Structure 1
């Protein structure tokens, strides 16, 4: 498997995004976000997304060089349209607007619709936390319905991420970011590309039967049907996924998953974000004291497994990032081949880059 240093890999994939018609600034923003996901260990949201983005661009679903359009501005409520632009770009633009409002007004409800694949939602929580804000994000995914509802035998909605970010004074922020399915679909793509099976309980096939083959949600069968991921936490995860559909999809105007299908390779996201300035609810000193004292209490918990310390959400990503900055990012052969083929579709030969 090829191993790349982050900047080298970014330089290569920037060429592909630029070839879709994106400005150099936009291409760099998109690829910086993708590589950051790789560095944090989320290869499902990293450079391996490039082939899907190119396919979405070719079919006309992804529109380069778009900015958010303000549909409604009520001060502490912003309703924005991503205009099918790169989610990494319109998502950041939306967050910058929401952060400014929350810092000024104390809070902001931010609605974003029609954004192409937003990527790792934790990035937006990190943006808010860096400005001292708490944030909550509910996201729906309009693509193939690859997640079954609890008790169901076929896919009915997307992986619908949920995320919370909390700034902790003098510490890394608490970043809870997860798909409401037992695994992100992109992790199944990565497993499929390297020929790995997954643990029982994650998947059902096209007949609704349990399987350990990740390919059932990566490649359709002869009839064009996919299997499905299972929700995490049984009825609890399924309920949260439906909440993401109703709030991230129906409430934002992004739409919910139902026939007719969206375009074949599009990944459109709606996101409802709630941003809160803790200083508007209590003193900053009190908030910092409470968050830090509780984190101290959590860390004092005895470990359930010797040699494996208790960690908070966000810490595994920080550790992985330090390791991959040092050792490089490994891309499996199949994913790298797919990235190279995607480049050729837009006239880029990565072997010469």
Structure 2
């Protein structure tokens, strides 16, 4: 091995380009070593890589080392099933029992889709879920079933974001996702954190990825900054810890984004019983409140045909795209267009990971007990 190569098989400091299918297989292999079943490990691999394909690197494979740690510490549990606490027809309250988000999240969404398809609407609260990953994935699931959906998420015991006008942590990054299917078109999917950037984007920047905006964070002294280091504490031999760094992420959209984040704490956290970023909770978990509506049943009830939901929506989207762009080389885009373009590009050309991100993944693999030759082969066989 040359001095320019690491034990992971990558040139020191050089980005790693890897085929998405091979990367998903490697991530799945890591989680087989943590005690996850083959089925769950496969779901985790596909979900994390799916986030990278969509360009949401903050919720992609960079999370794998964290997941390994959470499983090792018993914060998240392998192969849990959702428990139904309330079932009153269109209202469901489910307990994820601290299972992996890539298992309990899709299970909860599947129940919501099934109930909405039957009744026309459904409201599903999911409490005590492991990290749910990219929330847009769940809006995409509902849209594939022809359903409109809204998903609000909070993170119990996660204090990362300062409210508008503050430098003190009082909220999680609290993502939201909206999905609207339109017949004959890609669904419109709007998926975003309520902070200027997701914590994972700060982590990606910390590990050699693209920088975050200059207004994304606030230091302990109240300075607005783009330096991701203010979010983390550092100790020898441990992964940077975002939970007790000196600074904070900032809420997006000033007071408006701060307000949306508060509503996520109340509706996804307090209402589901998961808990909030506040002082009452000590165990990490995601809460999610999802609302599903079947537009076909609305059209049928009011007698709409060609001018129903799909026709009205299609007319609007056509008109939206006709908006004159300020820069003709940058046409107007709908939510989800950029993700679609990135997915097509990365599926064709591979996923590029900064060297530090790849080393983080390999560190998680080593911690899980994956053999060195398996780690090296993951890259060389891509």
TM range (shorter): over 0.9
Aligned length: 350
Counterpart Cα distance in 2 of 1:213 and 1:36: 27
Closer, same or farther: CA 197–124 of 1 in aligned 2, 3 Å: closer
1:125-175 deviation per Cα after TM superposition (whole angstroms, max 9, x unaligned):
000001110001111012431101111111111000111100011110010
TM-score by length of 2: 0.88
Residue pairs, 1:302-317, within 5 angstroms: 302-317=324-339
Q: 1:81 — aligned with what?
A: 95
Q: 1:275 — aligned with what?
A: 292
Three-state SS of the structure 2 residue aligned to 1:141 is: strand
Q: 2:6 — aligned with what?
A: none
Q: 1:351 — aligned with what?
A: 376
Displacement of 1:212 = 2.0
Three-state SS of the structure 2 residue aligned to 1:246 is: helix
Closer, same or farther: CA 284–113 of 1 in aligned 2, 3 Å: farther
Is 1:105 paired with 2:119?
yes
Unaligned runs of 5+ in 1: none
Residue pairs, 1:140-289, within 5 angstroms: 140-194=154-208, 197-219=211-233, 224-259=244-279, 262-263=282-283, 266=284, 268-282=285-299, 283=304, 285=306, 286-289=308-311
Counterpart Cα distance in 1 of 2:91 and 2:280: 31
TM-score by length of 1: 0.95
Unaligned runs of 5+ in 2: 1-14, 236-240
Residue pairs, 1:309-328, within 5 angstroms: 309-328=331-350
Question: Structure 1 stretch 219-228 or stretch 111-120: which is displaced more?
Answer: 219-228
Is the Cα–Cα contact under 8 Å of residues 189 and 218 in structure 1 kept in the other structure? no
1:297-326 deviation per Cα after TM superposition (whole angstroms, max 9, x unaligned):
101111111211111000100000000011
Is 1:15 paired with 2:32?
no
Counterpart Cα distance in 1 of 2:230 and 2:144: 39
Counterpart Cα distance in 2 of 1:195 and 1:173: 29
Three-state SS of the structure 1 residue aligned to 2:150 is: strand
Counterpart Cα distance in 2 of 1:104 and 1:269: 27
Is the Cα–Cα contact under 8 Å of residues 278 and 284 in structure 1 kept in the other structure? no
Counterpart Cα distance in 2 of 1:315 and 1:334: 29
